[in-house]
Amino acid sequence: MLDKLEKIEKEALKTLASVKDKANLEKWRLAKIGRHSPMMNMFSQMASLSKEERPAFGQGINRLKALLEKEFEDRRAHIKQAELEESLASEKLDISLPGRPVKMGRLHPSTQNLRRVLGILAEMGFQVYTARDVESDEYNFQLLNIPPHHPAREMQDTFYIDTGNNDESEKQVLRTHTSPGQVRAMREFSSQNPDNPPPIRIALPGMCYRFEQITARSEVQFNQVEGLVLGQTITFGDLKGTLSEFARRMFGSHVKTRFRSDHFPFTEPSAEMDIECYVCGGKGCSVCKKSGWLEILGCGMVHPSVLANGGYDPARYSGFAFGMGPERQLMLRHKISDIRYFWGNDIRFLEQF
Ligand code: PHE
């Protein structure tokens, strides 16, 4: 009988040594120390032993039971520890590894440049004023000295909006330039104090639309920034001084500027401002088309009848206005050869800004 106990012990300890996980440990427990295990069966055999044999056997089997139960607990603790170590190893974090970069969005290059232009004008005392994208024919053209059939309308091919109303002044258009905002602003300010309208110094940004064939050089939409300065003593000298200072802040302190006379129906006299080509320094290159100069904006003294349309008495008030294209400036600055990139949504283009 004692031999049998010894055999059970040896066999149980041997199999326990190869148990590596909880599931097999449970199987082992049921098989070796469970109620129906050979060891537990031995207890029932006690009755068949003689009085003399019983004490030794009793001791032996109790010792075996205690031993196997202790070995079982030790094994369980060992497996638990091993599993913990394994899970720690698999979740190990190397904090010295570089992180995964988060992709940052960015502003569209047009928006970036628009903000830059407005930032400079704001520093120079201009207030941002916004007007509508959908304009009446009256504001977009007539109040700016462009009556129906005026040849200047042909320069600005227009998107008309079908409202069912064909009355000339009621026609609605997508604004072809930001200049109609001039009259809107003048009317708003002059209505505050009709006898003594306040001076104005505003920058007026916004999208403009033209009904054109889309090519590398022309798009159906583009931004403009309009400027308007009105007061009682504003001269062409103020226009030149203000715009030259703007050009210095925008393109660098050494930039050379020149004004060429031009024509716009809503300004008189009118001019275009050029800056010396910053690609070739005025020597002539492909960007400036060999002229040495880059045209960057149109400007002029606000026409007396436009002042009057805005509620400002041209006998007492004068002012200047200008309009520029932020996309055009970007194209010159970065030698972008095709205007279609701006609204093409090609991430390879946009990511460069
Ligand atoms: N509105 C003109 C254009 O679209 C630009 C301009 C604005 C010219 C203000 C003079 C004064 O080209």
Ligand 1 atom 7: the closest Cα is on which residue? 323
Ligand 1 pocket check for 322: Cβ under 6 Å: yes
Ligand 1 atom 4: the closest Cα is on which residue? 177
Ligand 1 pocket check for 267: Cβ under 6 Å: yes
Give 145 Cα–ligand 1 centroid separation in angstroms. Answer: 13
- Point out the ligand 1 atom lying closest to the alpha carbon of residue 228: 9
Ligand 1 pocket check for 293: Cβ under 6 Å: no
The bridge status of strand 257-264 relative to strand 221-231 is unpaired
Ligand 1 pocket check for 209: Cβ under 6 Å: no
Token digits of residue 261: 């006379």
Give 254 Cα–ligand 1 centroid separation in angstroms. Answer: 26
Output b/e per residue, 277-292; b: 16+ Cβ within 10 A. bbbeeeeeeebbeeeb
Q: In 3-state terms, what secondary structure has residue 269?
A: strand
Ligand 1 pocket check for 190: Cβ under 6 Å: no
Q: pTM score, two decimals?
A: 0.72
Give 322 Cα–ligand 1 centroid separation in angstroms. Answer: 6
* Residue-level pLDDT at 350: 93
Distance CA 158, CA 349 (A): 29
Token digits of residue 7: 């055999």
Ligand 1 pocket check for 227: Cβ under 6 Å: no
Q: Is the dihedral of CA 136, 138, 144, 145 positive or negative?
A: positive
* Residue-level pLDDT at 155: 66
Distance CA 302, CA 154 (A): 22
Return per-residue pLDDT of the chain as tens, 353 residues: 788 889 999 999 999 999 999 999 999 999 999 999 988 888 888 888 888 888 888 898 999 999 999 999 999 999 999 999 999 999 888 889 998 889 888 999 999 999 999 999 999 999 999 999 999 999 999 999 999 888 877 766 899 898 887 777 678 999 999 999 999 999 999 999 999 999 999 999 999 999 989 998 889 999 999 999 999 999 999 999 999 999 999 999 999 999 999 999 999 999 999 999 888 889 998 888 899 999 999 999 999 999 999 999 999 999 999 999 999 999 888 888 899 999 999 999 999 99
